[in-house]
Amino acid sequence: MNEPLLVFREIEKSFSGSQILCGVDLSLYPGKCILLSGKNGVGKTTLLKIIAGLEIPDLAKIEISGKTNCWKKAVRSVRKEIIYLHQHPIMFSSTVESNVAYGLRFTSLNRKQRRESVEEALEWTGLTDVAKKQAKTLSGGVQQRVAFTRAWILKPKVLLLDEPMANMDHESREQTYQLLVRMKLAGMSLVITSHFMQYFEGIVDQHFQLKNGALELKSKS
């Protein structure tokens, strides 16, 4: 494998005295996909949120370009590169295109560039036809694709997907799978949590099971 983008080491996390993560190490590589499985409540979401910088660990270190720092010191630069996608993405009360454009408000793109960027992204995810629709009125599967588009447009280096295909029908799953393939080909590092390994066959490079606070390597391609 190439050089890792980011290496997380010795992640520890407890809630109310109960230790959920006991020294988890995880390396993220460009264009590679990691699948995380494990029983309900084992700590998969907690781990993703710590990686995304959304949950504070008790302990953790992050290595970037060979330099290791404590989580607190490194997390600001990590947050810029990583997007966490919730299982049930929250849609703003506006059109699909406004939802997709949201993150671009914080970039240096001008109005014309933002419009072009939104058009391209909607085309990329096959959502051009629903661009003017109110996002909240769409089905769960389509909302999930809006959330993918909202993430894709910001070109994160790492995309963390929490149960991205739960409650999806076969067609939505297939469309989501194709988007994941293209994200991977574009060089994004993907980390997916799921109870359904079979949905991700073909794109997963490493499969870890989270058990008793540690990651167990189940398979590697």
- Burial class of residue 185 (count of CB atoms within 10 Å of its CB; 0-12, 13-18, 19+): exposed
Q: Is residue 206 at the binding interface for ligand ATP, with CB under 6 A as the rule?
A: no
Q: Which of 2, 17, 41, 217 binds ligand ATP (CB under 6 A)?
A: 41
Contacted by 42, from ligand ATP, Mg ion, none: CB < 5 to 8 Å by type? ligand ATP
Minimum CB distance to ligand ATP smaller for 4 or for 43: 43
Q: Cα 111 from chain centroid?
A: 27
Among 46, 125, 149, 175, binds ligand ATP (CB under 6 A): 46
| Residue 45 engages ligand ATP in binding (rule: CB under 6 A) | yes
- CA dist 98 and 96 (Å) reads 6
Q: What is the dihedral of CA 94, 95, 100, 106, to 10 degrees?
A: -40
| Cα dihedral sign, 127-132-135-139 | negative
Kindly state the smallest distance separating residue 41's Cβ from ligand ATP, in Å.
Answer: 4
What pairing do the DSSP bridges indicate for beta strands 206-211 and 214-220? Answer: antiparallel
Using CB under 6 A as the binding rule, the residues of this chain from 3 to 32 that contact ligand ATP are 15, 20
The interface partner of residue 41, options being Mg ion, ligand ATP, none and the CB cut-off 5 to 8 Å by kind, is ligand ATP
Nearer to Mg ion, 127 or 192 (CB): 192
